[in-house]
Structure 1
Amino acid sequence: YPAPDPTNLLPVERDPWFPDPAGPLVAPGQYRVSMALRVDGAMQSLGEPQAFAAAPLGGDSLPPADREALLAFQLQTSELQRAALGAVSAAGEAQIRIYHLKQALMDAPRADPALAARARELEGQLKDLQVALVGDSVRASKGEPTPSTILSRVSQVIYGHWYSSADATATHRRNYEIAAEQFGPVLAQLRQLILTDLVALENSAEAAGAPWTPGRVPNWK
């Protein structure tokens, strides 16, 4: 299945032994494959679709009791990772917007000081959400123990069973449950901060004549 990683247009150099991003392995069964050529935006089919079978090699030491149920769980973890990685990237972009906004408000003589205070408040809220998602990098850099994060739990599940022929363990499933339970409120708060609170602050900065910052479209009369 496709990788749940965020879209990246920049070339990434990888070590030969480090695989490209990928999603869960498909379940054994019958599949069809086709090829097409895109010319000037139009798709042209190349030949007829071909059928093939994907089958296990038969050397599994711990084969799952239900491969379809295992795949369903893997797709659940893939969707959670897609959303969690997207939230991490969105938080990073919001952080850049806030950094620029703080400086722009300092450069705007007509800006109410309360706007800068609001920017710092949103910055603090965003950092708390980032800690919940990926952990406290400052504490980790000093060698201090840090609690498991949402993304670390999801990653543990993925790297622990996506490419294994065995069923997911109770630990894998519990990690998924905890990560999903924690991620819901964090994502809701992040969406509120980015889509509502930060936009409102950016609009206020625009009204105060602040220089342009990432994420804003200027007004002119």
Structure 2
Amino acid sequence: PIRLTSPPFYNPFAGKEEGHAVAPGTYSVTMYEYTGKEMKKLADPVKFKVEALDIYTMPPTQPEELVKFKKDVARLQGAIQGTGTILSDITNELKHVRKAISRTEVDEFSFLTRIITIENDIRDLRIKLYGDRIASRLDMPEKPSIAGMVGSITYESKNATSNPTKTHQDLYQRAKKGYAAFAKEVSDLLDEKVIPLRRDIQAAGAPYTPNALPEVIKF
């Protein structure tokens, strides 16, 4: 996900936010100047050529396919991180909802039951996405998580210059299939439980909570 802030100190061990190396070929670059009001073109496109150094033990037979695979993995990893952020946002929202219902003149029990159900659903979804931390600490066997599979591919092949291995290709397909089903569950959770809860607590006269669109008071 996009970050608008930077760490307050320099960490030499932190990874750089950079893309993957491009495939050999001819590219072009154009310079613009942004003055705060308009974007001004400074020069016409200038072409340049990227060539691979002849230093590889196992050079890729299809460089374009290697770049495509890395981009596909990066997109999947971005989707995973973004969906994880959504789950965190919902968790934070539920904390506000708990506080909000205590300030309404309604039966809190029914709302709390729905909140707990959503919290349990999020816990189960997190396990599917990131794995079971408790099981991991106890050295208990568990299935590879979606984020874990993609993380393995990224860690092992980010700077690789040879063709993607069969293991990495298989891991990507498993993670992609798993994420598709996972994203559907998150979408259903929002549509069937979270959004209706927002609407109902608002109808009950609860104070504003994050992600809820305030309604105009009708006199």
TM-score by length of 1: 0.89
Cα-to-partner distance string for 1:172-221 (whole Å, 9 max, x where unaligned): 11111111111111101112212442111011011111222111133322
- Specify which of 11, 14, 22 is matched with residue 18 of structure 1: 14
Q: Is 1:58 matched with 2:69? A: no
Please report how far the alpha carbon of residue 72 of structure 1 lies from its aligned counterpart in structure 2 after TM superposition: 1.8
Quote the RMSD (CA, aligned, Å). 1.8
Q: Is 1:9 matched with 2:11? A: no
AA of the residue aligned to 1:51: K
Please report how far the alpha carbon of residue 89 of structure 1 lies from its aligned counterpart in structure 2 after TM superposition: 0.9
Q: Give the Cα–Cα distance (whole angstroms) in 2 for the partners of residues 137 and 35 of structure 1.
A: 48
SS of the residue 1:95 aligns to: helix
Q: Give the Cα–Cα distance (whole angstroms) in 1 for the partners of residues 188 and 208 of structure 2.
A: 22
**Percent identity between the two aligned chains:** 25
Q: Is 1:131 matched with 2:127? A: yes
Please report how far the alpha carbon of residue 33 of structure 1 lies from its aligned counterpart in structure 2 after TM superposition: 0.8
SS of the residue 2:164 aligns to: coil
Contact 1:24 1:78 in 2 (8 A): no
Contact 2:102 2:108 in 1 (8 A): no
Q: Is 1:144 matched with 2:139? A: yes
- Specify which of 48, 53, 73 is matched with residue 77 of structure 1: 73
Cα-to-partner distance string for 1:38-62 (whole Å, 9 max, x where unaligned): 1233110122221111111110001
Residue 179 of structure 1 aligns with which residue? 175
Which of 168-177 and 41-50 deviates more? 41-50
Please report how far the alpha carbon of residue 18 of structure 1 lies from its aligned counterpart in structure 2 after TM superposition: 2.9
Q: Is 1:169 matched with 2:165? A: yes
Please report how far the alpha carbon of residue 19 of structure 1 lies from its aligned counterpart in structure 2 after TM superposition: 3.1
- The 3 A distance-change label for structure 1 pair 195 and 54 is farther
Please report how far the alpha carbon of residue 135 of structure 1 lies from its aligned counterpart in structure 2 after TM superposition: 2.0
Which of 32-41 and 55-64 deviates more? 32-41
Residue 31 of structure 1 aligns with which residue? 27
Q: Is 1:198 matched with 2:194? A: yes
Residue 105 of structure 2 aligns with which residue? 109
Q: Is 1:189 matched with 2:185? A: yes
Q: Give the Cα–Cα distance (whole angstroms) in 1 for the partners of residues 48 and 23 of structure 2.
A: 13
Extract unaligned runs of 5+ from structure 1: 1-5
Count of aligned positions: 215
TM-score by length of 2: 0.90
- The 3 A distance-change label for structure 1 pair 144 and 211 is farther
Contact 1:150 1:179 in 2 (8 A): yes
Contact 1:132 1:150 in 2 (8 A): yes
AA of the residue aligned to 2:3: N
Superposed structure 1 runs of 4+ greater than 3 Å apart: 137-140, 142-147
Residue 3 of structure 1 aligns with which residue? none
Contact 1:24 1:74 in 2 (8 A): yes
Please report how far the alpha carbon of residue 127 of structure 1 lies from its aligned counterpart in structure 2 after TM superposition: 1.2
Contact 1:37 1:45 in 2 (8 A): yes
SS of the residue 1:16 aligns to: coil
Q: Give the Cα–Cα distance (whole angstroms) in 1 for the partners of residues 98 and 164 of structure 2.
A: 46
Q: Give the Cα–Cα distance (whole angstroms) in 1 for the partners of residues 83 and 91 of structure 2.
A: 12
Please report how far the alpha carbon of residue 162 of structure 1 lies from its aligned counterpart in structure 2 after TM superposition: 2.5
